[in-house]
């Protein structure tokens, strides 16, 4: 339905038009009238008429002035018909420029007026139909483009690269505004909900799995948009995982991607209330190698069966949080750190992996198992002796150690004997007053003197002669914060000092405190301080950056 507004300062004309025309037959629902341009302008703003029939000349505000003001406020969506008592074509011409579609002279011929009204309603209906068609097309395109993008990206990552189809793919990439995929190397990130099959089998909520997947996609999409400064495309693959293809436009983007992945995990846990795992390709490659990146990330995700989920996986487990890894007893150095710095409960817990370790040797005879355990223990004792353990009975009487092992012929009894041996060794180290504080102090000293270097937990652990997992545990126990938290804190504190000196540019500060990617540095600085480096400077009156 439509609305009409009649404007004339002559009551008879105004009311005559309102009453004599069968407006409802033309599709008009309401008919309003005004005695001058000021009143009409207020009514037009409130009721948004589709058709305005107005006198050109009136007291106070004229019809032309009213249309001019209305065009400024409501430039589209109405048609105007002019009534004039003067055969003044200059005024009519002005009115046409203001949106009028026709005019009629006084005295008004009702047949002519009804012809003009029919013409006006036809125009209004035609425009409405065109707008609706355009809106429908826009709506369809809005849904079609994402679907076409998803289909193309799925095709590219889930299938081997075909050079004979490159031209066709390139054309499709361009038409879907994805041609940036060919302009730089690319990272791939896969986000997979943990234990989704179990979720799908639950009958608590209909389509709960689909709701969870939808939520994960929303979180990842929003996080990529907020945290990444490079082009990225997100889609869902055939295995119900969310896959992000990310442009690698600078050297520091990998660290940025890792940070974004961690934020995604945190938000998925917080807002979707489920756990998820993320695999990130460690090395960027050209778009023709997307399938290879996809397979690599898929293999990385399979590690969650071994190492647990709800974490970030790269090509190896090297970059994962060491505190979450299960303490290993396979290597003598790892066992040595366990007995030197761990509690009795840590030793008992770690020995639960003894059976798996022995079975991994794939030995069939009891004698061979005894021999392997003997060599394993001797390796631990040699490593302990190298750190100052004074007991040399194992060295003077290795046969005695062997004979004690031979007393046990089951895996459980061997495990118990070895556990008791490790607990005894741990007691010896406690008696020696071995201080873990010295290790942490050395690591802390490295952080405070070499924070500008590419320090990692693995590197610092090797420098203080302890395994990374134990450096992480000792550091948190002694300092109440993780190694990475302390390193970040020192770097940000130094950055704040340098930002107070106007001779340093922000990118120089980033490099000096150990971040090779200024964009990543800015995001991390804002997360720690609450403002960006530039805003931090402005608060201190430094405006040069």
pLDDT value for 133: 84
Identify the H or E element spanning 115: helix 110-158
Calculate mean pLDDT across residues 535-541. Answer: 88
pLDDT tens digits along 454-468? 787 878 888 888 878
Three-class secondary structure of residue 347 per DSSP: helix
How far is it, in rounded angstroms, from Cα 525 to Cα 513? 11
Our CA dihedral for 65, 70, 73, 74, rounded to 10 degrees, sits at -150
How far is it, in rounded angstroms, from Cα 208 to Cα 136? 31
pLDDT value for 319: 39
> 86 pLDDT band (50/70/90 cuts)?
low
pLDDT value for 482: 85
pLDDT value for 192: 93
How far is it, in rounded angstroms, from Cα 91 to Cα 32? 25
State the maximum Cα–Cα separation within the chain, in Å, rounded to a whole number.
130
Q: Which of 322, 183, 186, 156 lies closest to 254, judged by CA?
A: 186
pLDDT of 251 over the 80 cut: no
Q: Which domains does the chain possess?
A: 2-130 (3.40.50.2300), 159-320 (3.30.70.270), 332-431 (no CATH), 436-539 (1.10.10.60)
Tally of CB atoms within 10 A around 166:
13
pLDDT value for 376: 93
Calculate mean pLDDT across residues 238-243. Answer: 94
> 306 pLDDT band (50/70/90 cuts)?
very low
pLDDT of 201 over the 80 cut: no
pLDDT of 171 over the 80 cut: yes
How far is it, in rounded angstroms, from Cα 532 to Cα 274? 31
For the chain, percent of residues with pLDDT exceeding 70: 91
How far is it, in rounded angstroms, from Cα 363 to Cα 229? 54
For the chain, percent of residues with pLDDT exceeding 90: 36
262 secondary structure, DSSP code: H
How far is it, in rounded angstroms, from Cα 420 to Cα 479? 31
Q: Which of 75, 278, 275, 242 lies closest to 154, judged by CA?
A: 242
pLDDT value for 67: 87
How far is it, in rounded angstroms, from Cα 84 to Cα 91? 9
How far is it, in rounded angstroms, from Cα 143 to Cα 137? 10
> 516 pLDDT band (50/70/90 cuts)?
confident
How far is it, in rounded angstroms, from Cα 139 to Cα 151? 19
pLDDT tens digits along 485-511? 889 999 999 999 999 888 899 989 999
409 or 297: which carries more pLDDT confidence? 297
Which of 94-103, 117-126, 438-447 tops mean pLDDT? 117-126
> 308 pLDDT band (50/70/90 cuts)?
low
Least confident window among 48-62, 187-201, 215-229, 390-404: 187-201
Interior CA angle at 271 toward 270 and 276, to 5°?
A: 70
pLDDT value for 208: 82
Calculate mean pLDDT across residues 182-188. Answer: 92
pLDDT value for 62: 85
Three-class secondary structure of residue 53 per DSSP: strand
Q: CA torsion sign, 471 to 476 to 479 to 481?
A: positive
pLDDT of 331 over the 60 cut: yes
How far is it, in rounded angstroms, from Cα 236 to Cα 240? 6
pLDDT tens digits along 207-228? 788 899 999 999 999 999 999 8
The rounded mean pLDDT for the chain is 85
pLDDT of 187 over the 90 cut: yes
Interior CA angle at 80 toward 78 and 86, to 5°?
A: 165
pLDDT value for 283: 85
**81 close to 114: Cβ distance less than 8 angstroms:** no
Interior CA angle at 279 toward 274 and 282, to 5°?
A: 155
């Amino acid at each position: 339905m439509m609305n009409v507004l009649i404007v004339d300062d002559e009551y008879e004309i105004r009311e005559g038009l309102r009453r004599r025309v069968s407006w409802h037959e033309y599709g008009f629902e309401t008919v309003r009238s005004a005695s001058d341009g000021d009143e009409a302008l207020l009514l037009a703003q409130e009721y948004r008429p589709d058709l305005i029939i107005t006198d050109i000349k009136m007291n106070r505000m004229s019809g032309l002035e009213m249309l001019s003001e209305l065009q400024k406020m409501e430039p589209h969506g109405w048609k105007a018909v002019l009534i004039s008592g003067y055969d003044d074509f200059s005024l009519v011409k002005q009115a046409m420029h203001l949106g009028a579609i026709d005019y009629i002279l006084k005295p008004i011929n009702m047949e002519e007026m009804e012809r003009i009204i029919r013409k006006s309603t036809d125009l209004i209906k035609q425009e409405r139909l065109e707008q609706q068609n355009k809106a429908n097309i826009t709506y369809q395109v809005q849904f079609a483009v994402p679907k076409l993008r998803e289909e193309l990206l799925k095709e590219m990552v889930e299938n081997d690269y075909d050079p004979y189809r490159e031209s066709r793919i390139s054309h499709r990439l361009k038409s879907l505004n994805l041609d940036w995929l060919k302009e730089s190397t690319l990272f791939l990130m896969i986000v997979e909900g943990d234990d989704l099959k179990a979720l799908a089998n639950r009958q608590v909520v209909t389509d709960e799995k689909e709701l969870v997947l939808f939520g994960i996609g929303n979180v990842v999409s929003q996080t990529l948009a907020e945290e990444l400064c490079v082009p990225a495309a997100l889609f869902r693959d055939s295995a119900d995982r969310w896959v992000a293809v990310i442009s690698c436009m600078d050297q520091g983007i990998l660290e940025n991607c890792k940070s974004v992945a961690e934020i995604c995990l945190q938000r998925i846990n917080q807002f979707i209330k489920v756990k998820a795992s993320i695999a990130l390709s460690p090395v960027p490659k050209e778009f023709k190698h997307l399938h290879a990146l996809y397979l690599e990330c898929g293999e990385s995700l399979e590690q969650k069966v071994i190492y647990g989920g709800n974490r970030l996986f790269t090509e190896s487990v090297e970059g994962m949080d060491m505190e979450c890894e299960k303490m290993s007893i396979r290597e003598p150095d790892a066992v040595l750190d366990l007995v030197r710095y761990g509690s009795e409960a840590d030793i008992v817990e770690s020995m639960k992996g003894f059976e798996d370790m022995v079975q991994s040797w794939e030995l069939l005879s009891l004698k061979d198992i005894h021999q392997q355990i003997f060599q394993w223990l001797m390796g631990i004792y040699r490593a302990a002796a190298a750190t100052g353990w004074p007991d040399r009975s194992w060295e003077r009487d290795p046969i005695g150690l062997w004979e004690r092992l031979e007393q046990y012929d089951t895996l459980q009894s061997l495990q118990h004997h070895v556990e008791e041996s490790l607990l005894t060794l741990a007691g010896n180290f406690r008696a020696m007053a071995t201080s873990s504080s010295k290790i942490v102090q050395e690591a802390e000293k490295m952080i405070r003197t070499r924070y500008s270097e590419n320090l990692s937990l693995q590197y610092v652990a090797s420098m203080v002669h302890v395994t990374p997992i134990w450096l992480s545990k000792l550091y948190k126990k002694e300092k109440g914060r993780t190694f990475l938290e302390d390193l970040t804190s020192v770097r940000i504190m130094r950055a704040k000092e340098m930002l107070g000196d106007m001779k340093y540019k922000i990118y120089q500060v980033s490099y000096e405190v150990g971040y090779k990617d200024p964009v990543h540095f800015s995001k991390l600085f804002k997360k720690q301080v609450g403002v960006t480096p530039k805003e931090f400077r402005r608060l201190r009156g430094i405006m040069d950056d």
